[in-house]
Amino acid sequence: MAYDTASRRRWAATATPWRMNVSPNTTPYQQISKAYAIARENYAAYRSECALFAGTFSRGFVEYLGGARDAISYESLRGVREGDGPVDVQEAMHLDEDTFWHFGMQIRVAGEKTTDMVRVEVRFKKIERRFVISLFGHEDFEITEPNALTLEPVYELLVLSIRRHYEDGLRLFLDKRGQNLHLPFSAARQTVIAGGA
């Protein structure tokens, strides 16, 4: 379908909101380049806000647990290879196709003679002036002012889920309901917890 010049002018007149900051003396290529630069700036600002949130989340969780800083580590969930090791939470997070930032959190739990590692995936995103946090794929929390106090319900759910994993995991597994826990329980998981026995 061919458009005449008048049709193009009418379309351009209705499309003015995105053209407001464009000088009439710029070429279409310069306009595209400017739009590209703005897109990069917007993403950098969004990522910076989300990285600040992730840092607030991680520091608050360590405080909530009673200062067990060395018991918490973070890992990227994208392209992780055995031996990559932990990274800062800001390095671990990545934006996925589901529009959420994702990062892996590992909690080292020390027993009398052994230790265990619990892995949790944390998803969050910023929508307008609030952050949405999703744990276990369905537990959503909305936070407008992220700090240790407003994040406490998230931390409480994490701790409760880990406790239930240990306290009720074997019983629920034997009743064939181990998959119903936030942190699923399996025979392989019981073997790890038991120290290979």
Examine the pLDDT at 131 and tell me if it is beyond 90: yes
Q: Alpha-carbon distance 26 to 45, whole Å? A: 26
Per-residue pLDDT tens over the stretch 134-184: 988 776 899 999 998 999 999 999 999 988 888 888 887 788 776 667 777
Query: Is residue 58 a contact partner of residue 74, using CB atoms and an 8 Å limit?
Result: yes
What is the share, in percent, of the chain residues with pLDDT greater than 90?
A: 43
Examine the pLDDT at 92 and tell me if it is beyond 60: yes
**CA end-to-end span of the chain, whole Å?**
72
pLDDT of residue 153: 95
Q: Alpha-carbon distance 159 to 179, whole Å? A: 18
Q: Alpha-carbon distance 34 to 17, whole Å? A: 15
pLDDT of residue 10: 56
